[in-house]
């Protein structure tokens, strides 16, 4: 018959007492043990859910990645979505975004739909189109990079994002936001267009 746990624990205590070195009990009580907290690593911002947990009926913010007015008409419901300017945002149902993938694939290939949540991109199965895409916030910060970094980033962009970047660059040059000749020259070479009249 197995022994009760209280008998086992007493036996273990007695064995430990016999083999453990003798120490002064008062000294152990007087020396507090201080545990150092584990170092906190900088973590990337966590998104709210995994792709497998998304609800097809949920609404997702979608920005206009096109350099002008963007219109999407749902084949499923006939609903019309209009973004007047680059960067404008509308909420779209996830189910509608999935339907757009099959009926209007160019919206993803050209990054006309800017979607920031990686779980949504994974759910839609469009990772390959967004692997090197710029988010809305990254467009202006691209112009602050070195000419070599700018060329490297542009080389990986989709045709649609190159067009939007050219539009954004023209606006910033016109407004004085980009005044570096080196940056303008690398943009012109990388995009294959003329941004300023020569």
* Three-state DSSP class for residue 91: strand
CA nearest to 95, candidates 51, 59, 70:
59
126/177 same-domain check? no
Tell me: the pLDDT tens digits for 15-32?
444 444 444 444 444 444
Question: Torsion over CA of 125, 128, 129 and 132, rounded to 10 degrees?
Answer: 130
Q: Is the pLDDT of residue 57 over 80?
A: yes
**Residue 65 pLDDT class (50, 70, 90 cuts):** very high
Domain hosting 92: range is 57-130
Q: Is the pLDDT of residue 45 over 50?
A: no
Number of domains in the chain: 2
Q: Is the pLDDT of residue 38 over 70?
A: no
Q: Which of 101, 130, 159 is the last residue of a domain?
A: 130
At residue 28, the pLDDT reads: 43
Would you say residue 85 lies in a domain? yes
Would you say residue 18 lies in a domain? no
| Other Cβ atoms closer than 10 A to 187 | 26
What are the CA-CA distances from residue 160 to residues 5, 43, 137 (Å)?
A: 71, 32, 16
118/158 same-domain check? no
Per cent of the chain over pLDDT 70 is 73
Would you say residue 2 lies in a domain? no
At residue 48, the pLDDT reads: 52
89/115 same-domain check? yes
What stretches of the chain adopt beta strand conformation (E)? 59-64, 70-73, 80-83, 89-93, 113-114
At residue 150, the pLDDT reads: 94
Mean pLDDT, range 51-72, rounded to an integer:
90
**Residue 179 pLDDT class (50, 70, 90 cuts):** confident
Mean pLDDT, range 83-98, rounded to an integer:
95
Q: Is the pLDDT of residue 89 over 90?
A: yes
Would you say residue 33 lies in a domain? no
Would you say residue 47 lies in a domain? no
Mean pLDDT, range 123-147, rounded to an integer:
90
121/149 same-domain check? no
At residue 113, the pLDDT reads: 96
142/126 same-domain check? no
Q: Which of 84, 102, 130 is the last residue of a domain?
A: 130
Measured CA to CA, the distance from residue 180 to residue 143 in angstroms comes to: 10
| Close Cβ partners of 47 (under 8 Å, ≥ 6 residues apart) | 117, 118, 119
120/144 same-domain check? no
Q: Which of 77, 100, 130 is the last residue of a domain?
A: 130
């Amino acid at each position: 018959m197995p022994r009760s746990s209280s008998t086992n624990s007493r036996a273990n205590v007695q064995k430990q007492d016999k083999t453990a070195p003798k120490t002064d009990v008062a000294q152990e009580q007087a020396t507090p043990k201080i545990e150092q907290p584990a170092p906190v690593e900088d973590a990337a911002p966590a998104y709210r859910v995994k792709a497998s947990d998304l609800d097809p009926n949920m609404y997702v913010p979608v920005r206009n990645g096109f350099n002008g007015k963007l219109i999407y008409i749902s084949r499923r419901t006939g609903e019309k979505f209009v973004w007047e300017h680059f960067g404008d945002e509308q909420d779209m149902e996830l189910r509608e975004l999935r339907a757009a993938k099959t009926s209007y694939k160019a919206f993803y290939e050209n990054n006309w739909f800017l979607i920031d949540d990686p779980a949504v991109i994974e759910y839609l199965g469009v990772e390959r189109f967004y692997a090197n895409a710029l988010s809305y916030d990254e467009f202006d910060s691209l112009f602050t990079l070195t000419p070599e970094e700018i060329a490297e980033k542009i080389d990986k962009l989709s045709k649609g994002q190159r067009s939007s970047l050219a539009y954004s660059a023209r606006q910033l040059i016109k407004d004085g936001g980009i005044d570096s000749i080196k940056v303008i020259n690398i943009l012109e070479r990388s995009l294959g267009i003329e941004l300023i009249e020569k």
